[in-house]
A = this chain, B = another copy of it.
């Protein structure tokens, strides 16, 4: 009967962070904005989530996940899923718009403790909408339409996003990934801007330089934005490389305003213990590292965010990382991050260097 078909599974993740560093802004919320120049140690819960997922019939599934680390309920994946015409599926609810290899790789499986500033500026992450997804052994394709913002009381417009990925090689230990995505956002509403004139971007965990979002603080009249993204990655046994390029083509209400920011990053990782990053071709993203225990990963990345406005320097991000996977579900991470803000308006200092460590479990 109907009840017999219902299956429910309880999951979640915990990420406990410690940080030591000298920051110019409230990076990760470790520092309050008033103590801008302090060198300090701190600890915090970065992510602490509960979820239920399951199926209510052979064709219909669901997932609901919240992150409560901030003290309020931050909606993560909350959706109904129809899987009746395989390999295609339909999602309805709150989930990630199809944009960005780094964004679409779960924080459980990210190589570094945080996504790049480039991803934070351009990838829309989760919104309430509907999407059609399909994928196979060497490709994935997703298209969706989304309202902007999950909270009641907002006045959002909408966005349309599409992404295709292709993997000429996709075995357990070898993969080549190519991807392209586009995201059209009808903004036209000051309520979508933050107080600094920036669009609310997806990854609030990201160490973004405050005030340097798509909507430049000097231009608070963003009307429409079309964001394009190109992705490439390769896995050869224990080694992997990955890179993305993203650019926003912005229309401002004031026709004299003109700023089309862009950014890119490249990263490389290597497992001295022999494991491989786990490419999931039908999603076009990376999944859980398969290990019997004690896997070690070393990684480095470099990214640049081009603000495309007179008098504003590029922002550069360099990260070194080392991960120890005690099991497939429990890992420790250490990152050293250097942010170079250049000579930009309103930024009191040009560098932000800090060391971070994380203990992470998911189930």
1/0 per position for A130-157, CB-CB distance to B under 8 A? 0000000000000000110011111110
1/0 per position for A336-363, CB-CB distance to B under 8 A? 0000000000000000000000011111
Q: How many of chain A's residues have a CB under 8 angstroms from any CB in B?
A: 75
1/0 per position for A317-345, CB-CB distance to B under 8 A? 00000000011111000000000000000
The prevalent SS among residues of A at the interface is strand
| Contact status A8-B363, CB under 8 Å | yes
Task: Knowing A48-B64, A57-B326, A57-B327 are in contact, say whether A70-B151 is a contact too (CB < 8 A).
Answer: yes
Cβ-defined partner of A6 (8 Å) among B52, B69, B153, B363: B363
Which B residue's beta carbon lies closest to that of A145?
B43
CB of A42 within 8 Å of the partner chain: yes
Total copies of the chain: 3
Task: Knowing A152-B29, A363-B8, A363-B62 are in contact, say whether A16-B79 is a contact too (CB < 8 A).
Answer: yes
Which B residue's beta carbon lies closest to that of A147?
B43
CB of A12 within 8 Å of the partner chain: yes
CB of A129 within 8 Å of the partner chain: yes
CB of A302 within 8 Å of the partner chain: no
1/0 per position for A31-69, CB-CB distance to B under 8 A? 110010010111111001110101011001010101011
A359 to B56, CA, bound (A): 14
A49 surroundings in chain B (CB, below 8 A): 64
